[in-house]
Amino acid sequence: MNRRTTSVAVLVTLLLSAAAVACNVPVFRFALERWQADACELVIFHDSGLKQDDEAFVADLEKSSLAKGGTSNLTVIRQDVHGDMAPETERLWQSIQSTEKPELPFAVARAAKGKDKIVNHWRGKLTQLREAGLLTSPVREELVRRLQNGDAVVWLLIKSPNEELTAKARALLKQQCEKLPNELELPEGIGLPGSELYSEVPLLLQFSVLEVDAADAKESYLVKQLTGFQSEAAAAGQPLVVPVFGRGRALEVIPGSELSADLIHDLTEFLCGACSCQVKEQNPGFDLLLTTNWNTALFGEDAELPPAPPTVGNGQKKSPELVPIPNGRKK
C-alpha cells in the first residue's frame, strides 16, 4: 500500500537512545499517566495596575494555576504597558496596537504547539474574558471525565454552520469509533519492566465523539483555542476535528475537508501503538486549558507518582528523527 502526506502536517517524533529501555505502553496511556500538561499563558496588559474588581478576578485566575497550587494548567503574566517588557512580550503588544486600539486591561491567551510555535488564540478586554469560560466549560468537563474513565481518544467535533458538512464528519467519526476497537491491538509486553501501568483506569481501545457548538457562549474560549490553529478553515465554514488524548493533549486540528477513514485509522493507530518516544517536548500536539487534579484522579490522594519521563537533554538525542503520519492509504 502506498502512503502519502498532506497539509495536516502531523509529525511523529522518534527520539532513539542507545541507553533507552523499550516502552510498550500505548502513547495515549503513557501520556495520561506521565505527561504533565503544558501551561497556557494569559498575558494581561494594564496601565499601572488594576481596578479592584479586575484585581480580584486576576488574583483568582492566578490562584487556579498549578504553579500556585491550583488545578488549571494556566500561567498568568501581568504586564504594565509602561514598564520594561521582554522582547517577545513587546512584539506582542506592538502587534496588538498595530491592528486595534486596545482598551486596557487587555488580555491575550497563548498556547504552545510543539517545541517552537506559539499561537495567540484569544484576545480581548478583560471584561470579555470573564464571559469566555476560560478555565472550564461543559464540553471540557465531559472531556476530562471521558479521559479519566478510560477513553483512549476523544474526537472533538467543532460543528460548522453547514449542517451537511458537520453531518458527514460526524457519521465518519462515529463509524470509525465503532470499527477501530476490532481492527487495532494493544502492544504486547504491557506490564513488563519498563512498560508498567500506574493507575487503575481501564486500559481500553475505546473511542468517542464529543461535539462542540461553536456558537455556544460557554464554549467560547475552547472554540477560540482550537480554531486559532485552523483559522482559515474555520472562517470558510468547515467543521474541525480534534483527536484528544492523555491529559487533554490535542494531536492536531483537522479541517473537515481533509478528514477520511484512513486518516482517522492512522492517527488512532499511532496513539494506540507503543510509545517509542517518551519525551513529550518532541511529540506533536498541544495541550488544552483544563481544570482538574489529574494526579489525584488517576493515582489517589497520597499515592506515589510514576517516575518522571525523560526530557530533552536527559539522556536523549536533541535532534529528533521526524516521521510524517500519513493521511491515509490509497487503495
Helix then strand then coil, % of the chain, to nearest 5:
35, 20, 45
Domain ranges of the chain: 11-37+137-324, 40-130
Q: Is there a contact between 288 and 223 (Cβ–Cβ < 8 Å)? A: no
Q: Please tell me the predicted confidence (pLDDT) of residue 194.
A: 85
**Contact assessment for residue 219 and residue 163, using Cβ atoms and an 8 Å cutoff:** no
pLDDT of residue 113: 78
| Alpha-carbon gap, residue 175 to 245, rounded angstroms | 19
The string over 81-103, giving b where at least 16 C-beta atoms fall within 10 Å of a residue's C-beta and e elsewhere, is beeebeeeeeebbeebeeeeebe
What was the pLDDT predicted at 280? 74
The upper half-sphere exposure of residue 193, i.e. CA atoms within 13 Å in the direction of its Cβ, equals 2
Q: What angle do CA 329, 210, 221 make, to 5 degrees?
A: 110
User: 251 — alpha (psi -120 to 50), left (phi > 0) or beta?
Assistant: alpha
Rounded-to-integer distance, Cα 329 and Cα 194, Å: 33
d(CA 184, CA 189): 16
- Written as tens digits, the pLDDT of the chain (331 aa) is 333 334 344 433 332 332 344 589 999 999 999 999 999 999 999 999 999 999 999 999 999 999 899 999 999 999 999 999 999 999 999 999 999 999 999 999 998 876 667 888 899 999 999 989 999 999 999 999 999 999 999 999 999 999 999 999 999 999 999 999 999 999 999 999 889 999 999 999 999 999 999 999 999 999 999 998 899 999 999 999 999 999 999 999 999 999 999 999 999 999 999 987 666 776 788 999 999 999 999 999 876 778 777 665 433 333 333 334 444 444 3
Tell me what pLDDT residue 310 has. 64
pLDDT at 308: 74
- Sort strands 40-46 and 74-80 into parallel, antiparallel or unpaired: parallel
Query: 40-130 domain in CATH 3.40.30?
Result: yes
- Residue 109's pLDDT is 95
DSSP 279: -
The dotted CATH code for 11-37+137-324 is 3.40.30.10
Cell of 166: 458537520
DSSP string, 190-253: TTSTTS---S-S-----EEEEEE-TT-GGGHHHHHHHHTTSHHHHHTT--EEEEEETTTEE---
- Say if 11-37+137-324 and 40-130 have the same CATH topology: yes
The three grid cell numbers given for residue 96, joined into one nine-digit string: 496588538
With 0.85 as the threshold, say if the pTM is over it: yes
Alpha-carbon distance of 264 to 56, in angstroms, equals: 44
Cis (ω within 30 of 0) for the bond into 105?
A: yes
